[in-house]
Amino acid sequence: MLGLLVSAPVAAGFVWTEAEAREAHHQAQAARQAAKKAGTTFKPKFFTAHEYATVAILVDVIIPKDERSGSATDAGVPEFMDFIVGDQAPRQTAMRGGLAWLDRECERRFDRRFVACDDAERRDVLDDISGPQPPAATLTQGVAFFRMFRDLTASGFWTSKMGIADLQYMGNTLVAEWKGCPDEQLRKLGIA
Amino acid sequence: MRRVQVIRSRKTWDVVIVGSGAGGGMAAKVLTEAGAEVLMLEAGPKFDTARDSKMFAWPYDSPRRGMAVPARQFGEFDAGWGGWTLEGEPYTSAPGSQFDWFRTRMLGGRTNHWGRISLRFGPDDFRRKSLDGLGDDWPTTYDDLKPYYDEVDKLVGVFGSVENLPNEPDGIYQPPPRPRCYELLVKQAADRLKITCIPNRLSILTRPLNGRPACHYCGQCGRGCATHSNFSSPSVLLPPALKTGRLTIVTDAMAREITTDATGLATGVSYVDKKTGRDTHVQARVVVLAASACESARILLNSKSSTFPRGLANGSGTVGKYLTDTTGTAVVGFIPRLMSGVAHNEDGAGGAHLYMPWWLDNRKLDFPRGYHIEFYGGRGMPRFGFLGNIEQLTGIEGSGRPPGAAGYGKQLKDDYRRYYGATIGFSGRGEMVPNADTFCEIDPSVVDRWGIPVLRFHFKWTDCEYKQVKHMQETFRGLIQELGGTPLSPMPPKEHGYGIEAGGRIIHELGVTRMGNDPGSSVLNKNCQAHEVKNLFVADGGPFVSQADKNPTWTILALSMRTAQYIAEQRKTGTV
């Protein structure tokens, strides 16, 4: 079912009715939930099994679950990434190579790849490639990879249903009468 | 909407119109209402906003989250079917020139996805040469066009406010929507810097009009409005034309040449039926070209004969010359005051509710023509690319954290939440002066997939534009500073043209079939009638003699209405 969604054609003239879009979305959600219950895992099309396991851990380190919303994996970000990178060839080498770079840096420090490291070891590497500038000269490619990966994680999370609810985006709906800026925000901004 | 018909008869149409956009749609409405039997050829397929619009789609309805795809280069939910590259439809640029050409192939063309910014040209905009010696004056004045602008306002509907500014003529307006929160901040900053900032003038209904309901403020005009509350040709112009019973529309029809007889009159249009690949011809008493400026020029240049060896109506060699586009550049700023805003629906109408018309005197500046300022921001629907490059914001938001240390984890998650809605972007849209190095012509070697010779573009900016764009950049950085914010990009250096967008990127191509009183230096007379072919007219942006610091669409509509009324009168008297 999820496969149907990710292979939907996008040629000019492809028409989605609202009903079809809602149905595709529900199908995808249902497929994910069914897969979780059945204990089967999503089968990535682009990532290898090892890469996908790395991605799933890394996205949740970047956007973890908290009191307001779930983690990146809860919002389907690894599946989203697998689709996007699989769909867009220019992204592939940077992603594949960046994950390889990450594994090699972890092995250099701890003799283990990223998935086998513990939390403190992972942060040891990530702090260096996500922190204050400038990084050590040997780490600049890791910094570039991490920024790209963080941006893609954010795209996947904040455009998901969970992310949109978390942001309290209240639009995309019919408004009969536009009332302008609410009083509370006017006061907060100090506008008369 | 009436079903598309397959042409089988050897009928001679009163008028064949090439193109279904602003100019073509208006001409069809006026001419059918005046009694003419009209055939409209549209290169793209049928598009019906009520059926095809992706209004109210959520980003997560697609695994691509609304990103651009080759067939829809403004986004997969955007109404624009087309882009800078079309499969099988190349164009070329001369060495040293960069021109990017956007083609929208669908019923209604670019009017489906444009920005709805509906500004009249002002009195000065028709007589720039008289004012500063550059370029040429139009053969018409604002007064000639005013009655048509008035009719367009009443027919289409536009919101705005009466301001009595000297070169920003007021229209017949519906009430403008109240400003958004961040727009009020910008207005305050503009007032302090003495930059004029007034309600925008958008063709989005705030009151019902002619059976079309008012806007419901979903902010998604670019997706095509399923309730026809904004202007597009299929929403406003085609329905009344179709209602007359005298309009037939043929879609997927790639017009390629206008045929003529021995006396030099147009006799019809040859086109490729894209569905079958077969070449087809329709006969016409009058031909109106409205295929978008450069496509119309291309058709003329490809219509060669012994009478017109340089292309139809091109004895003067002017077709393709005097090409201009609007100048553009943008700066985005992060505004700490807008962080952690009060959650509310900030969508509004599909465009800014305020804007800044040109406010200075070019005689006191080092560039000759002005620009207007558009801006955007707020708590919009999250898109692919949401808060990308977040490391740029760390440290400039007043947290005291080291610059660039965006990190990961709970702190980062909270940062995304705080920063949402706290950026404002400013864009300039300025007037380019025509120059001798900027024009289009037919490429001698290259054809498209139907064998139609393609255009080759020559494009150069001059200091007139570079200095203007430098001023835009400085003004936007001044506004961001006045807002207490930080620009997210450094000032572009002279070597990068001060950040000027490439030619064609603003998608306001004008001038390539220009009007004039002198047949030696113009293609059309002041009625947009070809000097050399009295039953041939042009109704898109090609006839324009100059750009302005204003978008062209409203003037395309007014000019097309005037041209079509002229055609109707001439048909009555039998002169055309």
| Nearest residue of A to residue B107, measured between CA atoms | A13
Q: What is the mean pLDDT of residues A66-89?
A: 97
* Residue to substitute from B60, B69, B85, B113, interface A, most A β-carbons within 10 A: B60
User: Minimal CA–CA distance to A141: which of A84, A113, A99?
Assistant: A99
Please tell me the number of Cα atoms within 13 Å of B104 on its side-chain side: 25
| pLDDT reading at A132 higher than 80 | no
Residue A20's pLDDT band, with cuts at 50, 70 and 90, is low
Within a domain: residue B413? no
Q: Is there a domain that residue B408 lies in?
A: no
> Which residue from A17, A83, A189 is facing B181, i.e. has the nearest CB?
A189
Percent of chain B beyond pLDDT 90?
94
Peptide bond preceding A134: is omega within 30 degrees of 0, i.e. cis?
A: yes
- Put simply, the answer to whether A185 touches B342 (Cβ < 8 Å) is yes
Taking CB atoms and an 8 Å limit, are A182 and B344 in contact across chains? Answer: yes
Domain annotation covers residue B407: no
Digit-coded pLDDT (tens) for B499-526: 999 999 999 999 999 999 999 999 999 9
Could you tell me if A74 lies within 8 Å of chain B, comparing CB atoms?
A: no
Average pLDDT over residues A125-142: 89
Q: Cα–Cα distance between B313 and B439 in angstroms, integer?
A: 17
B234 pLDDT higher than 70 = yes
Triad A9, A10, A15: Cα angle to 5°:
90
Residue B338 has pLDDT above 60, yes or no: yes
At B42 the pLDDT is 98
A residues 31..60 contacting B (CB < 8 A): none
Q: Is B345 on the interface with A (CB under 8 A)?
A: yes
> B residues 9-68 near A, CB within 8 Å?
45, 51-52, 54, 56-67
CB atoms within 10 A of CB B442: 20
Digit-coded pLDDT (tens) for B281-318: 999 999 999 999 999 999 999 999 999 999 999 999 99
**Residue for token pair 């040629």:** A11
Token representation of residue B121: 């040209």
Q: What average pLDDT does range B358-373 have in this prediction?
A: 98
User: How many Å is the Cα radius of gyration of chain B?
Assistant: 24
Check residues B119 and B6 and name the one with the higher pLDDT. Answer: B119
- Asked, for residue B371, whether it belongs to a domain, the answer is yes
Tell me, yes or no, if B418 comes closer than 8 A to chain A by beta carbon: no
ipTM of the complex: 0.92
Beta bridge partners of B258: B269
Chain B nearest-CA distance from A109, in A, is 20
Long-range contacts of the stretch B168-173 (C-beta < 8 A, 24+): B168/B119, B168/B120, B168/B122, B168/B357, B168/B550, B169/B120, B169/B122, B169/B123, B169/B142, B171/B118, B171/B120, B171/B201, B173/B201
Q: How far apart are the CA of B381 and the nearest CA of chain A, in angstroms?
A: 7
Stated as kind and residue range, the H or E segment containing B371 is strand B371-377
Give DSSP secondary structure letters for A143-155.
Answer: HHHHHHHHHHHHH
d(CA B122, CA A146): 51
Q: How far from chain centre, in Å, is Cα B87?
A: 22
Please determine, for residue A7, whether its predicted confidence score (pLDDT) is greater than 50: no
More confident residue, B556 or B403: B556
How does pLDDT run across A83-106, given as a tens digit for each residue?
A: 999 999 999 999 999 999 999 999
The total number of residues shown for chain A amounts to 192
Domain assignment present for B261: yes
Residue burial A29-66, b: 16+ Cβ < 10 Å; e: rest: bebeeeeeeeeeebebebbeeebbbbbbbbbbbbbbee
Query: Chain A window 104-163: which residues touch B at a Cβ cutoff of 8 Å?
Result: 126-127, 130-133, 147, 150-151, 154-156, 158-161, 163
Residue B50 pLDDT:
82
B324: which strand partners? B510
- Rounded mean pLDDT, B462-477: 98
Give the pLDDT band (50/70/90) at residue B444: very high
**Does the structure show a pLDDT above 90 at A35?**
no
Torsion of CA B247, B249, B254, B258, to 10 degrees: -10
CA distance linking residue B33 with residue B101, whole number of Å: 34
Which of A126, A159, A174 is the closest to B60 by Cβ? A159
Predicted confidence at residue B55, as pLDDT, reads 94
Report pLDDT for B240.
98
What gap in Å lies between CA B338 and CA B389, rounded to an integer?
Answer: 18
B342 interface with A at CB cutoff 8 Å: yes
What's the maximum distance between 2 C-alpha atoms anywhere in chain B? Answer: 80
pLDDT at A3: 34
Asked whether the beta carbons of B506 and B427 are under 8 A apart, the reply is no
What mean pLDDT value characterizes chain B? 96
Q: Do B64 and A83 touch (CB under 8 A)?
A: yes
> What distance in Å separates the CA atoms of residue B253 and residue B272, rounded to the nearest whole number?
6
Q: Over range B429-440, report the average pLDDT.
A: 98
**Residue linked to tokens 């509710």:** B353
Q: Which residues pair with B287 in a beta bridge?
A: B16, B536
- Which residue from B minimizes the CA distance to A27? B61
Average pLDDT over residues B186-195: 98
pLDDT at A4 over 70: no
Q: How many domains does chain B have?
A: 1
Query: What is the sign, positive or negative, of the torsion defined by CA atoms of B314, B316, B317, B318?
Result: negative
In this structure, of A67-81, B8-22, B79-93, B231-245, the range with the lowest mean pLDDT score is: B8-22
Confirm or reject contact between A184 and chain B (CB < 8 A): yes
DSSP A29: H
Q: How much is the pLDDT for A8?
A: 35
User: CA-CA distance, B552 to B558, in Å (whole number)?
Assistant: 10
Instruction: Quote the domain boundaries for residue B451.
Output: 12-47+65-92+104-380+421-573
Q: How confident is the model at residue B78 (pLDDT cuts 50, 70, 90)?
A: very high
- B47 neighbors B108 (Cβ within 8 angstroms): yes
User: Is residue B130 domain-resident?
Assistant: yes
What are the chain A neighbours of B383 within 8 Å (beta carbons)? Answer: 159
Q: How many CB pairs under 8 A join A and B?
A: 197
- Where are any strands of DSSP class E within B419-533? 423-430, 439-447, 453-458, 486-487
Residue B408: closest CA among A161, A101, A119: A119
d(CA B330, CA B132): 27
Q: In this complex, is the C-beta atom of A18 within 8 Å of any C-beta atom belonging to chain B?
A: yes
Report the CATH number at residue B309: 3.50.50.60
**In this complex, do A155 and B384 lie within 8 Å of one another by their Cβ atoms?**
yes
Alpha carbon distance, N-terminus to C-terminus of chain B: 31
| Residue B395: pLDDT band with limits 50, 70, 90 | confident
